[in-house]
Amino acid sequence: MTEHAIRPRWAIPLAIFIGIFSLTTLKAGGEVLFIDGIGREAAGNYVPFVLWFNFVAGFAYFAAAAGLIIWHPWVEHLALTIAILTILVFVAFGIHILMGGAYEVRTVGAMALRSLIWLGIVFSVREKLVHARPRISI
């Protein structure tokens, strides 16, 4: 990070949002994966690979929230990685649906929302960090 990189005002509220999103993702996913009860019953026809991905991604969300708070350049790469992997899992989920696999309609909306959120974060962070990078003259 350069000394010219100043954290924008929106970074802290976004980090708080992502931190809460991380905790709710971990809680909801953990209830379905590890506790045989109401959470698992309410999940309905969940798709295991989507559930596992979202649960593990919850830890990456938390790291991204921390990266936004300290406004470090690696947050751009982490957000991009999360966005790409989310979209790839969404595509695999679509293939699962097309092959006749059981699923919950709300999962389609949730994966679309996750994809859009992370793409938005990537473009927002990239825009600010690109302008903060030093210019190299040849």
List, for residues 26-45, the tens digit of each pLDDT value.
Answer: 999 999 999 888 888 888 89
Distance CA 65, CA 21 (A): 10
Does residue 1 lie within any of the structural domains? no
Does residue 5 lie within any of the structural domains? no
Intra-chain end-to-end CA distance of the chain, in Å: 21
Does residue 119 lie within any of the structural domains? yes
Kindly tell me if the per-residue pLDDT of 1 is higher than 50.
Answer: no
The token pair at 88 is 């790839």
pLDDT at 103: 96
Phi, psi of 45 (to 5 degrees): -85, 65
List, for residues 94-129, the tens digit of each pLDDT value.
Answer: 999 999 999 999 999 999 999 999 999 999 998 777
Based on the structure, what is the number of domains in the chain? 1
Does residue 137 lie within any of the structural domains? no
Give the confidence band of 3 by pLDDT, cuts at 50, 70, 90.
very low
Among 24-38, 53-67, 79-93, 120-134, the least confident range:
120-134
Does residue 3 lie within any of the structural domains? no
Does residue 138 lie within any of the structural domains? no
pLDDT at 126: 86
Task: Give the domain range for residue 98.
Answer: 11-132
Does residue 4 lie within any of the structural domains? no
Does residue 86 lie within any of the structural domains? yes
Kindly tell me if the per-residue pLDDT of 138 is higher than 80.
Answer: no
Instruction: Name which of 74, 61, 80 is nearest 122 in CA terms.
Output: 80
Collapse the DSSP code of 138 into the 3-class scheme (helix H, G, I; strand E, B; otherwise coil) and give the result: coil
